[in-house]
Structure 1
């Protein structure tokens, strides 16, 4: 025997745990949620008076929102492509506005003698 360790292979908290040690578990309700890809998710919730169940739940398989109506699941979120700073500026300003701002900036630089 190596070292004579009497509790070899055991760890703190090891052993059978049942209802007697943990207490009674709360009564549960299982609700089905479906996403737009047809995946079903079945989380369980405690049955408590006044507890509001969530209308949507994130699908663990695809990440889309899932609803309780199988025939009419929530639509997947619309993904916006990445926009540059210039794209946001072009949304706010017309080409005519941009040209006017450019001419104003150029005239200011000419007055200072920084450009010709």
Structure 2
């Protein structure tokens, strides 16, 4: 043996991989899914499972369905709201003015004392 180590370059579990080592593959069905951008994804499912109605498109991330003519619509995204926008949903301008005046009067009373 020139140079030494007989197991050099190998690792645990290395070796020929094949059906004999792994066993038989489960029977599968390949199902086509189409998104609103007309991307097709073919996903393999075991024959004994229920196929989902939608699948996320790996190319654009939109939901994809099994009907090529009627793919699911893209989800509607809500714009980002600031904290002030959420406050304005809960309170009217009159309520905000009353709260501000109350806080200012407390602050003035504290400074005056």
Common topology (TM > 0.5): yes
Number of the residue aligned with 2:57: 59
* TM-aligned CA deviation for residue 83 of structure 1: 1.8
The corresponding residue for 2:5 is: 5
After TM superposition, the score normalised by the length of structure 2 is 0.83
TM-score (norm 1): 0.81
Aligned to 2:106: 108
- Structure 1 counterpart SS, 2:29: strand
Aligned Cα root-mean-square deviation (Å): 2.0
Match of 2:75 in 1: 77
SS at match of 2:111: coil
* Alpha-carbon offset, residue 4 of structure 1: 2.4
Q: CA deviation at 1:2?
A: 5.6
Aligned positions, number: 112
Determine helix, strand or coil for the equivalent of 1:42.
strand
1:109 to partner: Cα distance: 2.9
Q: Per the alignment, do residues 17 and 113 of structure 1 end up closer, same or farther by CA in structure 2, a change over 3 Å counting?
A: closer
* Structure 2: distance between partners of 1:55 and 1:104: 55
2:85 aligned partner: 87
**Structure 1 CA distance for aligned equivalents of residues 2 and 22 of structure 2:** 36
Q: Which runs of 4+ in 1 moved over 4 A?
A: none
1:41-95 CA distance string (max 9 Å, x none): 11101112xx221111111111111111111111222222222211111121121
Q: Corresponding residue for 2:33?
A: 33
Local SS of the residue matching 1:101: helix
